[in-house]
Amino acid sequence: MIAGKVFDLAQPLFAGMPHFPTHPPFARTLTKAHGEQVLVNGASSAAELITMGGHVGTHIDALSHFSCDGKLHGGVAPVQSYSDGVTTLGVDTVAPIFRRGVLFDVARLMGVDALPLDYVITPEHLEDCGVTPKAGDVALIRTGWGKFWDHSSRFITGDGGSVVRGPGPKKAGAQWLSKHGIFAAGSDTVAFEHVPSHMEVHVHLLVERGIHIIECLNLESLSEAGVKEFQFIALPLKIRGGTGSPIRPVAVVE
């Protein structure tokens, strides 16, 4: 049985929360409210309709999310349709995730609350964080941007213009991670990689190396507690043909 402290790594879902502009936002309406329909015994219920993009909120990318030169990871051409999604390497094929996690707290390393807008996270930063990922690990990078979740334009663009911008690794940082054979890389930003970009980091991790990406994490409590190693647990929804899934990941420290 799990024993120890559980850190909740998910951001809350609500209308108006940040979303990458080309991914549909989170929407919700009640389908009925308490008191609208009341049974003879006084029972009543409320329920809702939810709409969102597959890459909105704290979520994991399936390997089917990116291709390069027409090929997914492993050189496979995607089988896809608008109604069935991408049925190759879909998120429904991702097993429940129980893995060692490590935190690269780059914001703390640099002594800042949050990394600047255009800050590039380098292999040297990762080296200096004092943790070493092992094969199969989940490696999380903290920029401090998780605390901007309630301020959408700050989280998405740094609060200026209409271009998605934010700190993160470029290809060199991604290669440092991938050479350790990790299972997934995550961050507390919307794009994981330094953006704007040509999505080289997504291509490197998802397509070239078969490494999942997790975005929009909340790593604040983990950082405050000074935790660098933990058990990482996430249970992606089995969306057939999904290219991503919302998750509520946790870190467990025994």
| Alpha-carbon dihedral angle through residues 239, 242, 248, 252, given to the nearest 10 degrees | 100
Q: How far is the CB of 109 from a copy of itself (least distance, A)?
A: 26
Is residue 92 near a copy of itself by the rule CB under 8 A?
Answer: yes
Contacts with a copy of itself, 35-74, as mask; x by CB under 8 A = xxxxxxxxxxxxxxxxxxxxx-x------xxxxxxx-x--
Is residue 22 near a copy of itself by the rule CB under 8 A?
Answer: yes
Smaller CB distance to a copy of itself: residue 110 or 235? 235
Which residues within the stretch 72-91 sit at the binding site for a copy of itself (CB under 8 A)? 72, 78, 80-86
Which residues within the stretch 135-174 sit at the binding site for a copy of itself (CB under 8 A)? 152-153, 156-157, 160-162
CA distances from 239 to 42, 98, 139, 231, 236 (A): 36, 19, 24, 25, 8
Strands 120-121 and 138-142 turn out to be unpaired
Q: How far is the CB of 207 from a copy of itself (least distance, A)?
A: 8
Is residue 235 near a copy of itself by the rule CB under 8 A?
Answer: yes
CA distances from 14 to 29, 133, 140, 158 (A): 11, 33, 24, 20
* CB-CB contact of 15 with 152 (8 Å): no
Q: Both tokens of residue 189?
A: 């930003």
Q: How far is the CB of 95 from a copy of itself (least distance, A)?
A: 8
Smaller CB distance to a copy of itself: residue 179 or 238? 238
The whole-angstrom separation of Cα 34 and Cα 186 is 39
Q: Both tokens of residue 143?
A: 């920029």
Smaller CB distance to a copy of itself: residue 179 or 198? 198
Is residue 100 near a copy of itself by the rule CB under 8 A?
Answer: yes
Return the residue of 108, 147, 165, 200 that touches a copy of itself, per CB under 8 A.
200
Q: Name the nearest CA neighbour of 53 among 87, 26, 28.
A: 26
Smaller CB distance to a copy of itself: residue 129 or 216? 216
Q: How far is the CB of 132 from a copy of itself (least distance, A)?
A: 17
Preceding omega of 196 cis (within 30 degrees of 0): yes
